[in-house]
């Protein structure tokens, strides 16, 4: 068969032999359909094609174990948000962006710990309960959290800083509760010094993220969630650079009154508290 622009897509799909893996075949063939249709619909030039390849190459060059430029690209294109949305299970807490700075080996800390050391800013008590979709608490659930600081910077971005600062894994108590204190994070721009930053500037887009806390929450026999918690009445909730904000993920930071009982024991007296519960669906 002579290959031409009209039968090339089918020829490429037919060249793959792993037909016994139906999911792999579906993903691969659908991707090929969309990629080839993109080229046909836009009449892509050689210069534009090389520009795309060089852009992807640059994403790879700047990526490190601490900074994943391809995740950032997925975020700003809304791909991450779309995957989160279609994979959220009924009744469970909605998913939101993993982001480019996640580390899977955060330090394990005791409930009530302060995870911000002496970083400046308002100290907030983060607390809540992890439950299943029927409302039952999940004792022993693990809450993995990470965040920016009171200036909007992740320690992992700072030369000479402990990259595990502002990160922790907590095991919930017998009531499924988690609680700890930290510094209230501020809004920040996504990394703007690489190829994704160039893309944002070319598209006349801002790079600001609404202030948030990152979480991965899991428990035995439950489907884990990757999500974020945002703060009511703060900037960029309506135009977050990576489309991560959901109404259900916005919590309220409330000032703690003098002498107010916290109901939990913590290392550091907080200035405010943020109560937010997580719900997990069965695996």
- pLDDT per position as a tens digit, 103-122: 999 999 999 999 999 899 99
Q: Evaluate whether 208 touches 243 at the Cβ level (below 8 Å).
A: no
In the chain, the largest separation of any two C-alpha atoms, in whole Å, equals: 82
CA distance 87 to 24: 18
* pTM (two decimals): 0.90
- CA-wise closest residue to 147 among 197, 187, 108: 187
Strands 278-280, 123-132: parallel, antiparallel or unpaired by DSSP? parallel
The whole-chain average pLDDT of the chain stands at: 95
For 58-99, write each residue's pLDDT tens digit.
999 999 988 899 999 999 999 999 999 999 988 999 999 998
Laid out side by side, the sheet with 142-147 consists of 167-171, 142-147, 212-218, 225-231, 250-251
Q: Evaluate whether 147 touches 116 at the Cβ level (below 8 Å).
A: no
Other CB atoms within 10 Å distance of the CB of residue 73: 20
**3-state class of 201 per DSSP?**
helix
- Which pLDDT score, from 0 to 100, does residue 11 have? 94
């Amino acid at each position: 068969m002579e290959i031409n622009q009209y039968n090339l897509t089918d020829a490429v799909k037919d060249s793959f032999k792993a037909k016994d893996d139906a999911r792999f075949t579906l993903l691969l063939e659908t991707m090929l359909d969309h990629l080839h249709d993109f080229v046909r619909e836009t009449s892509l030039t050689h210069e534009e094609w090389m520009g795309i390849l060089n852009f992807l190459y640059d994403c790879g060059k700047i990526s490190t174990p601490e900074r994943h430029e391809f995740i950032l690209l997925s975020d700003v294109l809304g791909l991450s948000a779309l995957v989160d949305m279609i994979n959220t299970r009924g009744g469970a807490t909605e998913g939101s962006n993993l982001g480019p700075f996640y580390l899977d080996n955060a330090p394990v800390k005791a409930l009530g710990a302060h995870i911000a050391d002496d970083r400046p800013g308002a100290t907030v008590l983060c607390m809540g309960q992890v439950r299943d979709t029927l409302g039952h608490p999940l004792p022993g659930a693990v809450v993995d959290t990470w965040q920016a600081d009171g200036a909007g910077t992740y320690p992992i971005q700072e030369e000479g800083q402990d990259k595990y600062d502002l990160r922790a894994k907590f095991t919930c108590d017998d009531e499924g509760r988690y609680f700890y204190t930290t510094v209230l994070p501020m809004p920040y721009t996504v990394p703007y010094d690489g190829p994704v930053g160039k893309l944002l500037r070319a598209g006349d887009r801002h790079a600001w993220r609404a202030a948030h806390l990152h979480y991965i929450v899991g428990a035995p026999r439950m489907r884990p969630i990757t999500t974020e918690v945002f703060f009511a009445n703060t900037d960029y909730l309506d135009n977050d650079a990576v489309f991560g904000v959901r109404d259900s993920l916005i919590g309220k930071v409330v000032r703690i009154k003098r002498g107010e009982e916290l109901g939990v024991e913590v290392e550091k007296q907080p200035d405010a508290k943020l109560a937010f519960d997580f719900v997990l669906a069965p695996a």
